[in-house]
Amino acid sequence: MEYSPAPFYDDVAGDPAGGTAHWLHTADGKRIRVGHWLPEDAKNGTVFLFPGRTEYIEKYASTAGEFLNRGFAALAVDWRGQGLAERLLDEPRIGHVDKFTDYQHDVAVVLELAETLDLPRPWYVIGHSMGGAIGLRAVIQNDCFAACAFTGPMWGIFFVPIMKPLSRLTAYWGTALGLGERTPPTTSLTSYVLAEPFEGNSLTRDPDMFKMMQDQLKAHPELALGAPSNQWLREALSECEWLMEQPAPDTACLTYLGSHEQIVDRKAIRARMANWPNGRLVEIPDGEHEVLMEAPEVRNPVMDELTAHFLANRP
């Protein structure tokens, strides 16, 4: 396949050194960015990191480093419409997608690049938030992953009860009325971590991780993303409904859910995992949305469990 060098922001990625990024073009003509880290001895395979909405490769460098230290290579992706991937609207701060299944075009070229680079097998995938929805469909439709894991996966979207009817009305009727490229009411075009203080945030209890996210976007504002479009919201809700209708795949699964989760639907995650015969749900007491960005006393045991889960499911 064809790929070319892309920027990788070492100045904000931190450890580990040696991350490499590439531009890829999807079958429907969108440019995305993929980064990978390949240690000399990746004896345990490769972990594919599927980020959530608004996220980008550099944010996952520390997670990649954890896996490198455990004998894995790692790969992360800027999905279409975010990070340094091609933005899809004239207003680049709005997160947008035409169809949610378009993200599978991104997955397809990511897998093709991994083949081309001969990234070590077996392959595993971790999907966070929106990446959990993309990742679950990818696991259902592909047999290339030996095991999968999810953190705060978007198998449903959480709405404050008073806002739920309005949000759904905006997503479906707003799009039907030609407002698909607008953002839902009460949302902002400013990135969440720049708009909100650490105190009371819904992402992490670790002030150092929160500051890292802020520092990355202050240094490289081109990475930032604000509210989703009405079209994205409609497509995301439809995708969540489809995913919940599917039988659980045979792939071994480990899923994490923070007890304070306020972004995705906790009930949907519990329901999905209750019907996954080869799956296990771990609930993190007092945990927020981003388990992999939590304080070390939470993050380190999670990384150890993920490593054990992957190694236990080697082909």
Instruction: Give pLDDT tens digits for 68-114.
Output: 999 999 999 999 999 999 999 999 999 999 999 999 999 999 999 99
Does 244 or 184 have the greater pLDDT score? 244
pLDDT at 170 over 80: no
Dihedral (CA of 57, 63, 68, 74) sign: negative
User: What's the average model confidence in pLDDT over 229-248?
Assistant: 97
Dist CA 170 CA 176 (whole Å): 9
Query: Is there a cis peptide before residue 185, judged by omega within 30 degrees of 0?
Result: no
What gap in Å lies between CA 113 and CA 90, rounded to an integer? 29
Q: Span 172-193, mean pLDDT?
A: 88
Q: What is the pLDDT of residues 2-22, one digit of tens each?
A: 999 999 999 999 888 789 999
Structure token pair of residue 32: 């995305």
pLDDT higher than 90, residue 172: no
What is the predicted pLDDT for the residue at 241?
96
Look up residue 85 and give its amino acid: A
Residues 26, 42: Cα–Cα separation, whole Å:
28
Residue 307 CB neighbours (<10 A): 19
Does the pLDDT value for residue 311 go beyond 80? yes
Q: Please list the residues that pair with 255 across neighbouring strands.
A: 150, 281
pLDDT band at 254 (very low <50, low <70, confident <90, very high): very high
CB 51 within 8 A of CB 59: yes
Q: Using alpha carbons, select from 175, 176, 126, 174 the residue that is nearest to residue 150.
A: 126
Mean pLDDT of the chain: 95
Of all residues in the chain, what percent carry a pLDDT higher than 70? Answer: 98
The dihedral formed by the CA atoms of 148, 149, 155 and 160, expressed in degrees to the nearest 10: -170
End-to-end, the C-alpha distance of the chain in Å comes to 27
Strands 123-128 and 145-151: parallel
Region of poorest pLDDT, from 165-174, 190-199, 288-297: 165-174
Among 86-100, 136-150, 179-193, 257-271, which is the least confidently predicted range? 179-193
pLDDT exceeds cutoff 70 at 280 = yes
- Bridge partners, 282 (sequence order): 256
Pick the CATH number of 4-312 from 3.40.50.1820, 2.60.40.3670, 3.30.70.3280, 3.40.50.970: 3.40.50.1820
On whether the pTM is more than 0.85, the answer is yes
- For 22-48, write each residue's pLDDT tens digit: 999 999 999 999 999 999 889 999 999
What does the pLDDT look like over 205-218, one tens digit per residue?
999 999 999 999 99
Question: If pLDDT is split at 50, 70 and 90, which confidence band does 201 have?
Answer: very high
164: pLDDT confidence band, cut at 50, 70 and 90? low
Q: CA nearest 229: which of 268, 202, 263, 189?
A: 189
